[in-house]
Amino acid sequence: MTNHYNDFKNSDVILNMGGNVAENHPVSFKWIQAAKDKGATFIHVDPRFTRTSAKADIFVRLRSGTDIAFLGGMIKYLIENNMVDEFYVKNYTNASFIVNPRYSFDDGLFSGYDPTKRAYDRSTWALEKDEQGIPRRDMTLQDPRCVFQLLKKHYARYTLQKVSEITGTPTVDLEKVYKAYGSTYTPDKAGTVLYAMGWTQHTVGVQNIRTMAIIQDLLGNMGIAGGGVNALRGESNVQGSTDAALLFHIIPGYMPTPRAPWATLEDYNKTTPSSKDPRSINWWKNRPKYLVSYLKAMYGGKSTKENDFGYTWMPKLDAGQDASWLNLFDEMFKGTFTGFFAWGMNPACSSAHAGKVRQALTKLDWMVNVNVFDSETGSFWKGPGMDPKKIKTEVFQLPCAAFLEKEGSVSNSGRWMQWRYKCANPPGAAMPDGDIMFELFKKVRALYEKNKGAFPEPILSLKWDYETSGHFDIHKVAKEINGYDLTTGKLMVNFVGLKDDGTTSCGNWLYSGSYTEAGNMAARRKKADPTGLGLYPEWSWCWPLNRRIIYNRASVDLDGNPRNPKRPLIKWDAEGKKWVGDVPDNAVPPMGTNGAYPFIMKPDGVASLFGPGLNDGPFPEHYEPLECPIEKNLMSNQRINPVIKVFEGGLDTFTTCDPKYPFVCTTYRVTEHWQTGVLTRWLPWLIEAEPQMFCEMSLELAKLREIKNGDRVRVESSRGKVEAVAIVTSRWKPFNIAGQTIHQVGLPWHYGWLHPKDGGESVNLLTPTIGDPNTMIPESKAFMVNVRKVTRQPATTKKIEKKG
Amino acid sequence: MKITRRSFLKISGATAAGTVMGGLGFDLSPVESYAQELRIKGAKENLTVCCYCSVGCGIIVHTDSGGKVINAEGDPDHPISEGSLCAKGASSYQIAVNSSRLQKVLYRAPYSTAWKEVKWEWALEKIAANIKKSRDASFMEKNAAGQVVNRTNGIASVGSAALDNEECWLYSKMLRALGLIYIEHQARI
């Protein structure tokens, strides 16, 4: 999130799209209610009517996988109706920047497309620079090659009629949403968007969010109280685990993973983002300091200037190599790995195409599974269709402490890092995960100390000293993440003091400032709220630098005065020569004096309406999901995103416009369960409330398939099938897509064969192996299925009939 | 009053009975709230944050003098949740008090049809040996292009957004020291 949960109350218009905030983030709804109580408008856009829709002032439906069309139409509407924050767009976005004359867009393809590689050469998307290397601009926004004019041209095609035909949303509903949300273009109004996996789990996931980011920039809604682009993330620490880079492509603090062509630290640092514009802070220019400090936290005293601080010990990806989730399991299926850790995860149910994942697990020599409860992953070898006598995989199931049985911090979606205390001892032999890791690595190191092995240096050199009085001490880890000034031995105050000469260490620069000589900032519980905006600067701590709303200098005018005097987030104190309010992003004077652009993490210092860095285009464009119900994309002749990686062969199958699988299917959650249900299905109170798999469908579809409420149905894709109880409901309605009636169904993804016995299977047996071309997040929110009534009679019914 | 398991059960029973009788038209709410108070009277308050979604609601976990979890409820001082919890957060007591919890280190040998209970020491030593074997067999110092890559191709990891920040850092540190590149978790899906 650019903003945070309490900040919802500062909004005038709240849009929840690609999510179901009332059911999936229930407690946060109180801040939406607080905004509504002050007169705010709450909009929900979703394929299905949910409890969120029930509380919405405006609810409209769209077919799954058509969000770019919906939002592209909004861009057109805003520009045509002058509902654009002109000051903001000119000063704080790249609207005025001039694009390379070779840039073009034609029939669904941007310039530079290579059909054989299914990839773009992005050189024609570059922004023009002058002799000094500074981007060329036209502040009148009239140049036909300026970003604003190209944006206007690109979305001119997204007419109400066309959008309506694609999304199935009536034009009157589209206009209702566009008008209401567009009303936030004036500086005294704030609009915020709350999204979740309904936007990310698509082959156009990144561009879904970018379309909304463009809208937020046009309306001047970024960097302000009550604004922002806000991901409602699904797990208590998925923000923190991402920050800590438990992902192939980054190392902690969003630095890129070293790659083979960057053999030395110097080579790596050559890729540091740069800007020649003196008004662009380009914060990433500091990356070399964060990298060396990271390497010092990794290898401690063994990390020296002479050995490139241990950079060579870091594992490196090949150029262009993608080791993301879907590829990982594809490689596992092919037999690439002998060993596997599933640590606090249940991929046998959580992964797209879970049937393939379960088969992949049989190809391993060994697997370590660490969890609080048993799961379909740990026990995969005795699952449906498995013969344990034929499965070689050696499995270790390690019991770990639950959240309330250990001490440590978690970062919520609003980037608040909150400390949790140990409340009780874990049961039986269960141990905190940190203790397990600590002990395990010591054992591995002992083996390498004793016996020869491949390239032992990084193992033997790793700094692994977390004991206090003979016990593993999580505070020592927290301090290592915060970092030290190695010349004084004192904890770093924050990342501003980090250096690239080896005199500082820091595990994750973003978290520097979280555990200082003044104490554990994440454990703070003071509730002062000096701005009245609910920033609570002394409650817990948030990255970066305890800044509660990022890019907050975009909330002021060129003199540093709040553009919205009703909700001043920061203000320049000209006499004191300092900012007052939230921690400024960052502490340079206002733009009107000798200040700098507000978007300090972007090389050009401004928000990108035109985004030349993505794999699938500088502007978002509507493409159909890989599996879709219509033969032709109504926007162009490119039916699917032209750069997605299509997995073929083996168990990977796809069907589109196939009469065998005529219905659109999507997946979602219920309030009473979480993820694959590992932490909820075993809780009696929760499983009683939501005991089994269901399939929701419209009255019309139920009639078509002769299904009654409560019937058992089989839902089937080309990859697998699940059984579910039919819920026939007006929460679903058929869509009118270009004159054709399209039905959609939805299923929750919390169940699995292990427990409860009659709870049903994972819906991910149905989902395809296909991902977004930028992130490789699977397309689990739009695929094609068939739904049929299961005619088998329950045994009890038969008995009664006989007696009768 | 010291809460023993026996008195706790007695109080719970009284509460349940009170609810039933409430249907007869008697106002028994004072009895109920008194019983609620007794349940956590003298208990220790421990502060934590919910383990489910990313809102980060505050939870107070009450433990008895023996350290046993006897209650979990919303933290009224917490600025985001202000004492509220959803159905999941309000059930988090049952994570601590749950007979289905994994409490043993379990091992399933190749081609075996059952789990076997083992000791931590044995399991960790065997896992460490497996790691070394897989790593040594698959370690690649240079790729096909002759570039230094220093990576372990034969081991992959997924996990975890359910870990604390400090554990995430430790895990990331350990895996990268081992040379893994196939490092993924929930954030990707």
- pLDDT tens, position by position, B100-151: 999 999 999 999 999 999 999 999 999 999 999 999 999 999 999 999 999 9
Give pLDDT tens digits for A335-381: 999 999 999 999 999 999 999 999 999 999 999 999 999 999 999 99
pLDDT value of residue A798: 46
Instruction: Report CB contact under 8 Å: B54, A236.
Output: yes
pLDDT of res. B40? 85
Flag whether residue A314 sits within 8 Å of chain B, measured between CB atoms: yes
Distance CA A114, CA A96 (A): 29
Q: What b/e string do you get for A421-442 counting C-beta neighbours within 10 Å, with b at 16 or more?
A: ebbbebbebbbbbbbbbbebbe
Chain A CB contacts of B126 below 8 Å: 396
Percent of chain A with pLDDT over 90: 97
pLDDT of residue B34: 66
Given CB atoms, is A525 within the 8 Å cutoff of chain B? yes
Q: Provide mean pLDDT across the span A570-576.
A: 96
C-beta atoms of B154 and A394 within 8 A:
no
Predicted confidence at residue A791, as pLDDT, reads 84
CA gap A203, B63 in Å, rounded: 48
pLDDT tens digits along A444-490: 999 999 999 999 999 999 999 999 999 999 999 999 999 999 999 99
Inter-residue contact A416 to A389 (CB < 8 Å)? no
Taking the CA atoms of A588, A589, A594 and A599 in sequence, report the sign of the dihedral they define.
Answer: positive
* Structure ipTM: 0.96
Phi, psi of A689 (to 5 degrees): -70, -40
Please tell me which residue of chain B has the smallest CA distance to A435: B167
Phi-psi region of A710 (alpha: psi -120 to 50; beta: other; left: phi over 0): left
Residue B27 pLDDT: 58
Quote the crossing angle between the two packed helices B165-178 and A433-450, to the nearest 10°.
Answer: 20
A300 Rama sector, left if φ>0, alpha if ψ -120 to 50, beta otherwise: left
| A584: Cβ contacts below 8 Å, ≥ 6 apart | A547, A552, A553, A570
Q: Which chain B residues are Cβ-neighbours of A314 within 8 angstroms?
A: 150, 176
Q: Is the pLDDT of residue B30 over 70?
A: no
> What is the pLDDT, as a whole number, of residue A648?
86
Cβ neighbour number for residue B73 with a 10 Å cutoff:
18
C-alpha distance from B23 to closest chain A C-alpha (Å): 23
* Cα distance between residue A226 and residue A40, in whole Å: 11
Give the chain B residue nearest A334 (alpha carbons).
B154
Q: Is A34 on the interface with B (CB under 8 A)?
A: no
Q: What amino acid occupies position A487?
A: T
**What interhelical angle do B165-178 and A287-299 show, nearest 10?**
80
CB nearest to B113's CB, from A236, A245, A388: A388
Question: Nearest Cα to B174, choosing from B152, B189, B148?
Answer: B152
Q: Say if A592 is an interface residue toward chain B (CB within 8 Å).
A: no
Residue B8 confidence (pLDDT): 40
Residue B80, classified by CB atoms within 10 Å of its CB into exposed (0-12), middle (13-18) or buried (19+), is buried
Calculate mean pLDDT across residues A717-728: 98
State the Rg of chain B over Cα. 25
Cis peptide before B130 (omega within 30 of 0): no
What would the two tokens of residue A557 be?
């005018």
Residue of B nearest to A235 (CA): B53
Question: Which of the four pLDDT bands, split at 50, 70 and 90, describes residue B19?
Answer: very low
Residue pointed to by tokens 């019309």? A700
Q: Cβ contacts of residue A41 below 8 Å, gap of 6+? A: A12, A13, A14, A57, A58, A180
Structure tokens at A757: 């016995």
SS (H, E, C) A238-264: HHHHHHCCCCCCEECCCEECCECCCCC
The most distant pair of C-alpha atoms in chain A lies apart, rounded to whole Å, by 93
Q: What is the SS3 assignment for A35?
A: helix
Q: What is the pLDDT of residues A223-272, one digit of tens each?
A: 999 999 999 999 999 999 999 999 999 999 999 999 999 999 999 999 99
Residue A468 contacts B, CB cutoff 8 Å: no
Asked if residues B49 and A236 have their Cβ atoms less than 8 Å apart, the reply is yes
Residue A794 has pLDDT above 60, yes or no: no
* Residue B26 one-letter amino acid: F
Report the pLDDT value the prediction gives residue A314, as an integer from 0 to 100. Answer: 98
Q: Residues A698, A743: contact at Cβ < 8 Å?
A: yes
Report the Cα–Cα distance between both ends of chain B, in Å, rounded.
Answer: 49
Query: Strand A712-716 and strand B58-63: pairing?
Result: unpaired
Per the CB < 8 A criterion, the answer to whether A486 and A503 are in contact is: yes
Residue keyed to tokens 């995969």: A380
pLDDT digits (tens, 9 = 90+) for A606-629: 999 999 999 999 999 999 999 999
Return the beta strands (E) in A661-701 as ranges. 663-668, 694-697
pLDDT in tens, A279-336: 999 999 999 999 999 999 999 999 999 999 999 999 999 999 999 999 999 999 999 9
pLDDT category, B77, cuts 50, 70, 90?
A: very high
Nearest CA in chain A to B133: A453
The answer to whether residues A523 and A515 touch, using CB atoms and an 8 Å cutoff, is: no
CA distance A195 to A228: 11
CB pairs under 8 A between A and B: 485
Q: How far apart are CA B116 and CA B109, in angstroms?
A: 8
Look at the block and give the residue holding tokens 């909009």. Answer: A43
CA distance B14 to A596: 67
Asked if A429 and B104 touch (Cβ cutoff 8 Å), the reply is yes
Query: Could you give the residue ranges of the DSSP H alpha helices within chain B?
Result: 5-22, 29-40, 87-90, 93-96, 120-138, 165-178
Termini Cα distance of chain A: 62
Q: What are phi and psi of A364, to 5 degrees?
A: -85, 155
Residue with tokens 């009683």: A688
B interface test, pick of A6, A27, A750 with most B CB neighbours within 10 Å:
A27
Crossing angle of helices A67-80/A160-167, nearest 10°?
160
- Region of B118 (left: φ > 0; alpha: ψ -120 to 50; beta: rest) is beta
User: Given CA atoms B148, B151, B154, B158 in this order, what sign does their dihedral have?
Assistant: negative
CA distances, A132 to each of A136, A157, A472, A783, B101 (Å): 10, 36, 54, 49, 64
- Condensed to tens digits (0 to 9), the pLDDT of residues A410-421 reads 999 999 999 999
A160-167 and A171-182 are packed helices; what angle lies between their axes, rounded to 10 degrees? 110
Q: Which amino acid is at A502?
A: G
pLDDT tops 90 at residue B21: no
The predicted pLDDT at position B14 comes to: 43
Where do runs of H (alpha helix) occur along A118-254?
147-155, 160-167, 171-182, 197-200, 205-218, 238-243
SS3 assignment, position A131:
coil
Rg (chain A; Cα; Å): 27
